[in-house]
Amino acid sequence: MIFNSPGTRYIPVNPYRDATGESTGLSQQQLDMRRKAEILQYNKTSSNGKITKKQNFAGVVGRRNQYSSYYIRNLQNGTANLDETCLLIPTSTRRSDVPGPEIFLRYDPAVPLYNYNSSQFTYGIQNTDEQLQDKWFISYDTDVVDNRIAMMNIRPSIDTSPYTYTLTTSIALSIKGYVLQNDPSGTFTLRIPQDSLNLVVKYGGQIVPNVNPTITYSSGFVQDVSGYITNAMSSFAGKIFVGNVTFSNIVLLTPPGATYEFYIEYTQNRVIANIDNYTISAIMNFKTGTSNSGLAFNTPASSGPIYTFLLTG
């Protein structure tokens, strides 16, 4: 008789009993929670299951999938364990667009995965999109005054934490204003010593602690700029490239999905004579040449190349 040997009987695993028949103490709610947490780890935001560049940028700007600033500060201070990944942080279903009443989802590896098909067919070794991605995504602005100069989003392909980064930006000094009295003798001296610059890194709008970079100036950096007003009873404006500055030894934790913002604060150091109204600023990520109207610079601009922005790690 053909096929007289019956096949192996399928006996599904009972998640409510262990191998000895004793109760596991698990509830249906715990099993459902475990399955939801597993499913929501995967991207379903585009037709092929992978997030598009446009969606990624929107997510970065909107700070979706972010760790809390409290968690990042504790990691940076050493009071939290990096092994406590985002999977273990309770997250509202509203942040994952799950329909129904709001509940908080939490991944619990102690609960077995039940009613979930994890079968995969592998033919040879393949590189996933995440493995081929850069370790971080960088966006920066140019000619920035008193604002964020750059933003970095850590990608899933990151291979270690923390990372030590080096940031380089080009800087110009700017002065503008007007003279009320008919006196063309107005003069100015603008200074930019190393202690006048401060790198600030933020996460979730909060300053990341223990960021103490080393500051170095490029060859030919101009630390003192002087000039004078050429026209009385008129407005004036000028900007001059002074060189590139590098902030090295920037140590940051790099959990996937984290987004950092970079700011450079400039403390004014100047000597002004016979000028009634003026504004002085440092322009970061400078990319254009020196210009002036109604004034003249005694100091030539830096002759070095302009490195608008560079972040390496």
Same domain, 157 and 289: yes
Same domain, 209 and 237: yes
Same domain, 151 and 198: yes
Burial (CB count <10 Å: 0-12, 13-18, 19+), residue 63 = middle
| Cα separation, 235 vs 105, whole angstroms | 60
The stretches in the chain having pLDDT less than 50 are: 1-3, 45-48, 63-65, 83, 121-126
| Cα separation, 90 vs 79, whole angstroms | 19
Q: What pLDDT, in 10s, does the model give residues 90-120?
A: 677 676 677 777 777 777 777 777 676 655 5
Same domain, 93 and 185: no
Same domain, 262 and 159: yes
Tokens 């700029």 -> residue: 225
Q: Which one of 119, 151, 178 terminates a domain?
A: 119
Q: What pLDDT, in 10s, does the model give residues 260-291?
A: 999 999 888 888 887 778 888 899 999 877 78
156, 59 contact by CB (below 8 A): no
Domain that holds residue 105: 28-119
